[in-house]
């Protein structure tokens, strides 16, 4: 690192994507979409410029949930489906940390599904990245909640009978302030969406169509995605238009829209900010301990 940037706090060394690479070799299958997501995160974080020790990656269990170990930030590869509650706890106990949550569609919307609604409505300032591959990759390709109807897997040999859940509509319905979708088939677009999501001051959700090359479907692979992905910007979508965002998100599974579906133009104060304000207020009103003891003894 030879260059420096000037910040309000003085001279700080400029960061490069390499500064976020832990050097641990990912054990993902060659060609797995998660490699692209990891590389996009390195780039987005270097542009944002917060050093690794000011960042925490929290994940659950799955191939995609291995991401914390491949970064130099603090990391917790935790318990299947429990990344969001842990991440909220981390953010509340240290609001200065930049907290990023990452994992698979199974981790987020099967076992962890109940936590998503509460994380969204509580609006803690964190970024939730789901690497959506429509299967359980780590446990060898079982049906996941985002698998399309008819998908044949080892747990649905005659084709899935169920309609998939729609992660975009799910978080929009509970009031998420930032909702986007991307794919490693569009590295520049995905990197800038990750950067925007991380900078958003509240709960931000990014669904990344990250192909599983070993158990995934043919039409979900990067080459196929390149031919059918449609940037929302090319449709003239205005991300402040919630009604239109809901309508477009309804095409999940049939259209691969990329870009920002919804960005709240007037983000409310996040939960961690509200808690901090309340704590400051309580500290101002708090009586010295001696006074409390006196009041007790006088009773």
Point out which residues bind ligand SF4 (CB under 6 A). 28-29, 32, 34, 63, 133, 137-138, 212-215
Looking at residue 108, the DSSP 8-state letter turns out to be I
Binding residues for ligand TPP, rule CB under 6 A, total 19
Could you give the maximum distance between any two Cα atoms of the chain, in Å?
A: 78
Closest CB to ligand TPP among residues 209, 270: 209
Q: Which residue has the tokens 């976020």?
A: 20
* Residue 80 interacting with ligand TPP (CB under 6 A): yes
Looking at residue 163, the DSSP 8-state letter turns out to be P
Residues 123-162: x where in contact with ligand TPP by CB under 6 A, - otherwise, as a string? --------x-x-xxxxx----x------------------
Binding at 105: pick from ligand SF4, ligand TPP, none (beta carbon under 5-8 Å per type): ligand TPP
Q: Are 70 and 37 in contact (CB under 8 A)?
A: no
Q: Are 89 and 107 in contact (CB under 8 A)?
A: no
Count the neighbouring beta carbons within 10 Å of the beta carbon of residue 189.
Answer: 18
Q: Considering only 57-65, 94-102, 149-157, 224-232, which stretch makes contact with ligand TPP by CB under 6 A?
A: 57-65
**Whole-number Å distance between alpha carbons of 200 and 176:** 11
The CB-of-151 to ligand TPP minimum distance in angstroms stands at 13
Q: What are phi and psi of 112, to 5 degrees?
A: -100, 5
The CB-of-141 to ligand SF4 minimum distance in angstroms stands at 7
Contact residues toward ligand TPP (CB under 6 A) are 61-64, 80, 103-107, 111, 131, 133, 135-139, 144
């Amino acid at each position: 690192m030879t260059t420096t940037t000037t910040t309000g706090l003085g001279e700080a060394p400029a960061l490069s994507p390499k500064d976020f690479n832990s050097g641990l070799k990912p054990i993902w299958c060659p060609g797995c979409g998660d490699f692209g997501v990891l590389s996009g995160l390195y780039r987005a974080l270097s542009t944002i410029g917060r050093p690794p020790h000011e960042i925490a990656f929290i994940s659950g269990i799955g191939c995609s949930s291995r991401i914390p170990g491949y970064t130099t930030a603090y990391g917790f590869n935790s318990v299947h489906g429990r990344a969001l509650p842990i991440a909220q706890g981390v953010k509340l106990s240290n609001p200065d940390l930049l907290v990023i949550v990452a994992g698979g569609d199974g981790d987020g919307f099967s076992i962890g599904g109940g936590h998503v609604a509460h994380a969204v409505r509580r609006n803690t300032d964190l970024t939730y990245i789901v690497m959506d591959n429509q299967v359980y990759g780590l446990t060898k390709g079982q049906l996941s909640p985002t698998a399309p109807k008819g998908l044949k897997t080892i747990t649905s040999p005659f084709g899935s009978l169920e309609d998939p859940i729609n992660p975009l509509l799910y978080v929009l319905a509970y009031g998420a302030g930032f909702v986007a979708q991307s794919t490693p088939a569009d590295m520049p677009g995905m990197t800038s969406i990750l950067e925007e999501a991380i900078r958003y001051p509240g709960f931000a959700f990014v669904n990344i169509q990250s192909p599983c090359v070993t158990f995934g479907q043919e039409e979900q692979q990067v080459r196929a995605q390149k031919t059918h992905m449609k940037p929302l910007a090319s449709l003239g979508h205005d991300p402040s238009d919630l009604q239109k965002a809901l309508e477009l998100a309804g095409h999940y599974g049939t259209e691969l829209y990329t870009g920002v579906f919804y960005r709240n133009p007037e983000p409310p104060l996040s939960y961690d900010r509200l808690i901090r304000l309340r704590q400051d207020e309580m500290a101002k009103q708090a009586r010295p301990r001696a006074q409390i003891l006196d009041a007790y003894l006088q009773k």
